[in-house]
Each structure stands twice: as structure tokens, then as C-alpha cells.
């Protein structure tokens, strides 16, 4: 079962969120943090997938601060629109919005909450781990994580990167490993956005293995 709700951030901002509910009592809550394409069909499907695994999935619309209802595809003009949004993103406020989603998931389940993010969302997931207090965090190919590698996570963290990712140099993961050897980092023979089955860079084998590890990690840390 899925629904659209309104979240209320601590600074007074209201934003929408997609909620995917499991068929039975949730194992835990899980906040799914979007790419730069908004809470689109792919991100909703990711939330649905986690709900099928027993989690209450909450995907906050972080672009509502720029313009409500942004939902983009991965080709043509939509890509240009997505790129144009990057300078408008306030990462500090994105973290505030993720906090609202964590609070909602915690209250809705009465259980622990984790965060998982992809691309832009992967970087925000790292900041959620260092600046908020989720019970666990997973970041997929977060290109900006290196800028914040010195920040210390407040929870167990798992990170996924592709060896053929032309957008993220190995130094990003190396900076995290040097500062935090306990952070679990996985490398895949894949490019950027290998988890997104709506993109040409999708790598089924890497996506399956990364997801398998992610679900096992969350079940261990959140159960």
C-alpha cells in the first residue's frame, strides 16, 4: 500500500513524501533519499521494493523547497532540467527535510529508522548519518561524500561505488576509509547510477548484489 503525505520540517517548511507500507507489521522504518530527478517513478519503485522486504519506506520530496512536484526522467530536456537544479539545492535544508522523514517513520513504526540514498541522495545519506541520528545509513555513489569525509557518523554506514564511475574518483571512498576505517565500503564493476533500471548505466548484477547487501545490513542494524 502506498500514499502521499505531508511532512513538516523543524524550520516550518512543509514537503510531500511518498510512503510505501509493507503488507504486515514493519520491521523498521526506512527513508529513501532521491537522486537529482526528484521522487520519480524509479524512486517510488525503490520504496515499494523495500516495503516488499518488510520496511516502511518514506521518500521525502527534497526539491519541494525549489518547486513542489518536481519529477523528472533520465533523457533529453529532463536531464538538463535536473542539472539546472543542482545550484539551487541547499544541502543543509535537505538534511532538515530528511530529519522530518526520519521522525515520521519512527512515529509511524515505533521502531528504528535507517536512511538510504542514491547519487545526490547518497551524499545526503552520509550527512544524515553524521548530523542526525538514524540507526543505520547506506549511500549509493554519493559524489559529494568526500567533501564531508571528516565528519563522524553517528551510526553504522555502508557505501556502494562503481569502479567505472566517471563522475566519482576513487579518492572519495579513499578519504572516507582513511578517516573512518569501520565504514563498510563496497566496490562494483559498474558505472554511475548502476542501481537505476531506468538508465542506460543500469547494471543488473551490481544492483542485485548491492541491494542484497543493503537489505541484509538494514535487517541486522534495524531489527
Per the listing, cell 558505472 goes with 191
Dist CA 203 CA 214 (whole Å): 16
- Name the catalytic one among 42, 64, 103, 119: 119
Per the listing, cell 541547499 goes with 90
Dist CA 161 CA 193 (whole Å): 9
Dist CA 14 CA 190 (whole Å): 37
- Name the catalytic one among 165, 189, 196, 197: 165
SS3 220: helix
Task: Find out whether 194 and 206 touch, Cβ atoms under 8 Å.
Answer: yes
Buried residues in 5-22 as b, exposed as e (16+ CB within 10 A): eebebeeeeebbbbbbbb
- Name the catalytic one among 97, 103, 192, 196: 192
Task: Find out whether 24 and 54 touch, Cβ atoms under 8 Å.
Answer: yes
Task: Find out whether 141 and 118 touch, Cβ atoms under 8 Å.
Answer: yes
Task: Find out whether 72 and 81 touch, Cβ atoms under 8 Å.
Answer: yes
Is 192 one of the annotated active-site residues of the chain? yes
Active-site amino acid positions: 119, 165, 192
Amino acid at each position: 500500500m502506498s500514499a502521499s503525505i505531508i511532512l513538516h520540517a523543524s524550520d516550518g517548511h512543509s514537503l510531500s513524501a511518498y510512503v510505501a507500507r509493507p503488507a504486515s507489521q514493519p520491521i523498521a522504518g526506512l527513508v529513501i533519499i532521491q537522486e537529482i530527478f526528484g521522487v520519480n517513478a524509479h524512486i517510488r519503485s525503490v520504496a515499494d521494493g523495500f516495503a516488499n522486504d518488510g520496511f516502511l519506506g518514506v521518500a521525502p520530496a527534497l526539491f519541494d523547497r525549489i518547486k513542489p512536484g518536481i519529477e523528472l526522467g533520465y533523457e533529453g530536456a529532463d536531464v538538463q532540467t535536473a542539472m539546472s537544479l543542482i545550484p539551487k539545492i541547499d544541502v543543509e535544508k535537505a538534511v532538515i527535510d530528511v530529519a522530518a522523514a526520519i521522525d515520521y517513520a519512527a512515529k509511524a513504526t515505533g521502531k528504528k529508522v535507517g536512511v538510504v540514498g542514491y547519487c545526490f541522495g547518497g551524499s545526503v545519506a552520509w550527512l544524515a548519518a553524521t548530523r542526525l541520528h538514524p540507526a543505520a545509513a547506506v549511500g549509493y555513489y554519493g559524489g559529494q561524500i568526500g567533501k564531508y569525509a571528516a565528519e563522524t557518523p553517528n551510526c553504522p554506514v555502508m557505501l556502494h561505488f562503481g569502479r567505472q564511475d566517471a563522475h566519482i574518483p576513487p579518492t572519495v571512498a579513499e578519504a572516507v576509509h582513511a578517516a573512518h576505517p569501520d565504514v563498510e565500503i563496497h566496490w562494483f564493476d559498474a558505472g554511475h547510477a548502476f542501481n537505476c533500471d531506468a538508465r542506460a548505466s543500469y547494471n543488473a548484477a551490481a544492483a542485485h548484489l548491492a541491494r542484497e547487501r543493503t537489505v541484509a545490513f538494514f535487517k541486522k542494524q534495524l531489527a
